Amino acid sequence: MQVLSSISELRAAIRAAKRENPDAQVGFVPTMGFLHEGHASLLEAARAACDVVVLSIFVNPLQFGPNEDFERYPRDEERDLALAAKAGTDIVFLPQVEEMYPAPTRTIVSVKEVTSRLCGASRPGHFDGVATVVSKLLHIVQPDQAFFGMKDAQQVAVIEQMVLDLNMPVRIVPCPIVREPDGLAKSSRNVYLSPEERAQSVVLSQALQKARLRFEAGADDTTPSEVTLLVETKIRQAPLAVIDYVEVLEFPSLQPVSSFADSNRVIVAVAVKFGNTRLIDNAVISI
């Protein structure tokens, strides 16, 4: 496994792999590091589908708001590299901020509509930062396929819209959420939780499971506001949970649902704060 920190070295390594095998499929997993089994599942999907697997680890300042956790975002390079090697990664791209932003960027890639709700509403500018850095990384790596976890379902929707609108020559592969045994979605931010918060955080997946069961019982005789209420009520059973949002939207357009009869797929998405830690989770449901 090669670990490279400069863009020119990375491009040279990928060029070399393509020279050896001109038909080599390059698979790319962009991350912010502090890897967990969710990331490992993306690397494994890339390993299964591609000849060359590239992982990037970069905590992107552009997607953090001024009062967010950029500085204290968890980092553990040594453990990340061990996990990457175990998952069969060929190349790790680990740039410093100065390599990615030698000067403040004047260019912003902005995706409208799919960013107006959910985390886009709670975190203004966040998805401009995500779209811009993913655009940069896709231009640097030039992968055939890029793998993203469905925990950040809105991120997947944003990236897919950007790739479609800008005719980017890459296939986006969404991968299922990986969970702890009790149901909590794997997240680098889970380490922030106190033992009490960790115990109560299970309400997120439990609430989504209630929504899923309600749809299975019959989507025709329920409404978005009934499902929202069901989820909110379950989350409120955890005394430390402070709801940021609970929304039921069309997927992947992320626009409001008027009636489930007109929808093929909906997403039930939640963001909940435990102390300073903001957790997200979702269920995408085919109707």
Q: Binding residues for a copy of itself, per CB under 8 A?
A: 7, 11, 22, 105-114, 131-132, 135-136, 139-140, 142, 161-162, 165-169
Residue 259 beta carbon to a copy of itself: minimum distance, rounded to whole angstroms: 23
Residue 113 beta carbon to a copy of itself: minimum distance, rounded to whole angstroms: 5
Q: 26 with 17: CB under 8 angstroms?
A: yes
- 37 marked ligand binding residue: yes
Question: Judged by CB, which is closer to a copy of itself: 110, or 259?
Answer: 110
Question: Judged by CB, which is closer to a copy of itself: 3, or 168?
Answer: 168
Residue 235 beta carbon to a copy of itself: minimum distance, rounded to whole angstroms: 31
* Owner of token pair 């912003």: 108
Nearest to 59 by CA among 71, 46, 43, 42: 71
**In whole angstroms, what is the distance from residue 112 CA to residue 114 CA?**
6
Question: Judged by CB, which is closer to a copy of itself: 109, or 269?
Answer: 109
Both tokens of residue 173?
């592969």
Rg (CA), the chain: 19
**In whole angstroms, what is the distance from residue 138 CA to residue 254 CA?**
24
**In whole angstroms, what is the distance from residue 241 CA to residue 238 CA?**
5
- 170 marked ligand binding residue: no
Residue 140 beta carbon to a copy of itself: minimum distance, rounded to whole angstroms: 5
- 139 marked ligand binding residue: no
Positive or negative, the CA dihedral 212, 147, 84, 80 is negative
Question: Judged by CB, which is closer to a copy of itself: 23, or 78?
Answer: 23
Residue of 10, 28, 39, 84 marked active site: 39
Label residue 234 exposed, middle or buried (CB < 10 Å: 0-12, 13-18, 19+): buried
Tell me whether residue 139 is one of the annotated catalytic residues.
Answer: no
- 161 marked ligand binding residue: no
End-to-end CA distance of the chain: 43
Q: Which residues are annotated as a binding site for ATP?
A: 32-39, 149-152, 178, 186-189
Binding-site annotation: residue ranges for beta-alanine = 63
Annotated binding site: 32-39, 63, 149-152, 155, 178, 186-189
Which residues are catalytically annotated? 39
